[in-house]
Structure 1
Amino acid sequence: MTFGEQPAYLRVADDLRKKITAGELPPHTRLPSQARIREVYGVSDTVALEARKVLMAEGLVEGRSGSGTYVREQPEPGRLVRSGFRGPAGSTTPFRQEQADERMPGTWESNSGRDAADREIAERLAIAPGDEVMRTRYVFRSGGEATWLSTSWEPLAVTARTPVLLPEEGPLAGRGVVERMAAIGLVVDNVAEEVGARPGLAEETLALGGVPGHVVLVISRTFFAGGRPVETADVVTLADRYRASYRLPVR
C-alpha cells in the first residue's frame, strides 16, 4: 500500500457512507449483503465484513437479529447553548435549560444514595478518597425517549443534616444547585465545565437508544461557592444528538 492509499475496507466503507449521506441508501433501507458488497466492489468476505463493522461503529447502520443490517435514521443535532446566563430556577443542567422551551416537554427520573468518593470524584470535590458523598443518578426524557444521563455527587460534609441533603426531595426538590446551596448559606459564584467525547459504555448506549461503539458527549461540570466545590456531575448524551455552543462574556 502506497502512502496515502486507504485500506480496501475503508474505501468500501467510504463509498457506502457517501451513498447513505446522499440519500441513495435512505433510513431503514437494508444495507447490501456481504455477498453483494463482495461482488460489487471485488473484495474478499473479510474486507466486506470489516467495511460493515466500520459503518456500525459510526452509528450509520444497525443489525437486526435474523433480518440483516439496515441504515439508521440520523437525528438532526440540537444546539446545546452554554453561557454564563442563569435562567429560571432549576435550569442549570443542559436538559432543564432545554425544557425552558415549552415545545419540548420532558420528564426525568432520579435516585439518590450515599456513596464513598473514588479518587477522581474526590479530586473534583477537593475531599479525601473515601469521604461520603450523596450520589444522584438521572435519566432525562424528551417525548418519552431518553436523551440525557447524569450522575451528580455532593459532599456530605456540606449537605449532611440540612434540608437539601437529597437533591430531588424536600422543600427545594429539583430547584437546582444554586438555589439549594443558597438555602444553606452558600453562594454559588462560578461553574467549571469540561467537554469531551468517548465511546459510550454498554449501559449508556442501551439506555440512550444508541448502538454498541456509539460515541457519547460528556460534560463534566463542577459548581463552586467561594472556591469550594459543592457539586460535581457528569452529563452524558449521544454525540450525534447535540452540538455544544458556548457564549462567553469578554472582559
Structure 2
Amino acid sequence: MAFGEQPAYLRVASDLRRKIVEGSLPPHARLPSQARIRAEYGVSDTVALEARKVLMAEGLVEGRSGSGTYVRALPEPRRIARSGYGLGGGATPFRQEQADEAARGTWESRSEQERAGAAVAERLGIEPGEPVMCTAYVFREAGEPMMLSTSWEPLGLTGRSPVMLPEEGPLGGCGVVERMAAIDVVVDNVVEEVGARPGLADELAALGGVPGHVVMVVRRTYYASGRAVETADVVVPADRYRLAYHLPVR
C-alpha cells in the first residue's frame, strides 16, 4: 500500500457511507450483502466484513438477527441548553427548557452517601475517602432516555443542612446556585469541559444506544470563592442531541 493510501476496508466503508449520506442507500434499506460488496468492489470477505464493522461502529447501520444489516434512520439532533446559571426561578436550565409542554421532559434521581474516590476528591479539592452525596439522574424527553448525570457534593459542606439531599427538602429540585445560596454559600463560577468518547455499556443500555455509539461528556464543577461545591458528569448521546451554549458578552 502506497504512503497515504487508505486500507481497502476504509475505501469500501467510505463509498458506502457516501451512498448513505447522499440517500442512494436510504434509511431502513438493506446494506449490500458481503458477497455483493466483495463482487462490486473486488475485495475479500474479510475486507467486506471490516467495512461493515466500520459503518456499524459509526452508528450508520445496524444488524438485525437473521435478517442482515440495515441503514439506520438517524434522528435530527435536538438542542440541550447549557446556559442561564444564576439565582431566580429555582429550576436548572435543563428543567426550565424541558418544562415546555411540547418537550414533555421528566427525570428521576437516586441519592446515596459514599466515600470520595481519588478522581472525585481531586475535582472537589477534598481528601480521598471523605464523605460525599452522590446523586444519579436519568432525564427523559417524551419518555425516551436522553441524558444521564452523576453529581457529587462534599458532605463537609452540605451535611446536616436543608440542602443535603439535592432532590428533597424545601429546595429539592432547585439548581446548585439556588441551593447553595440557602446555606450562605455564594456560587460565583462554573466550569464545563466537553469531550466525547465511546459510551460505556451501562450508559448505552440506559440511553437506548448500541455498542460503539459515541457520547458527549460534560464535566461540570461549581465553585464558590475558589472552593468546589459540586462536580458532575453529564452524558448525552452524540447522535441525538447537541449542546447549545448561550454566553453573555460582558
TM superposition score category, shorter chain reference: over 0.9
* Cα distance in structure 1, aligned partners of 2:201 and 2:61: 17
Q: CA deviation at 1:85?
A: 5.1
* Cα distance in structure 2, aligned partners of 1:96 and 1:228: 26
Q: What's the TM-score once normalised by structure 2's chain length?
A: 0.94
SS in structure 1 of the partner of residue 191 of structure 2: strand
Q: Which runs of 5+ in 1 are unaligned?
A: none
Structure 2 residue aligned with 1:66: 66
2:18 is aligned with 1:10:
no
Single out whichever of 61-70 and 157-166 deviates more from structure 2: 61-70
Single out whichever of 81-90 and 12-21 deviates more from structure 2: 81-90
1:7-66 deviations in Å (ceiling 9; x for gaps):
110111011111111111111222111112112111100000000000011011111222
Note if contact 1:28-1:72 (Cα within 8 Å) is conserved in structure 2: yes
Q: CA deviation at 1:241?
A: 2.2
Note if contact 2:17-2:55 (Cα within 8 Å) is conserved in structure 1: yes
* Cα distance in structure 2, aligned partners of 1:104 and 1:239: 19
* Matches for 1:20-39 after TM superposition, within 5 Å: 20-39=20-39
Note if contact 1:91-1:100 (Cα within 8 Å) is conserved in structure 2: no
Single out whichever of 181-190 and 53-62 deviates more from structure 2: 181-190
* Cα distance in structure 2, aligned partners of 1:250 and 1:106: 30
Distance 1:106 1:84, change over 3 A: closer
1:87-124 deviations in Å (ceiling 9; x for gaps):
732224xx325314332111111111011111111011
Q: CA deviation at 1:247?
A: 3.5
Structure 2 residue aligned with 1:89: 90
Note if contact 2:157-2:229 (Cα within 8 Å) is conserved in structure 1: yes
Distance 1:230 1:85, change over 3 A: closer
Note if contact 1:13-1:55 (Cα within 8 Å) is conserved in structure 2: yes
SS in structure 2 of the partner of residue 171 of structure 1: coil
Note if contact 2:57-2:212 (Cα within 8 Å) is conserved in structure 1: yes
**Identical aligned residues as a percent:** 72
2:48 is aligned with 1:52:
no
The number of aligned residues is 249
Note if contact 2:99-2:105 (Cα within 8 Å) is conserved in structure 1: no
Q: CA deviation at 1:5?
A: 1.4
| RMSD (CA atoms) | 1.6
Whichever residue aligns with residue 7 of structure 1, its letter is P
* Cα distance in structure 1, aligned partners of 2:40 and 2:125: 59
Q: What's the TM-score once normalised by structure 1's chain length?
A: 0.93
SS in structure 2 of the partner of residue 247 of structure 1: coil
Single out whichever of 192-201 and 2-11 deviates more from structure 2: 2-11
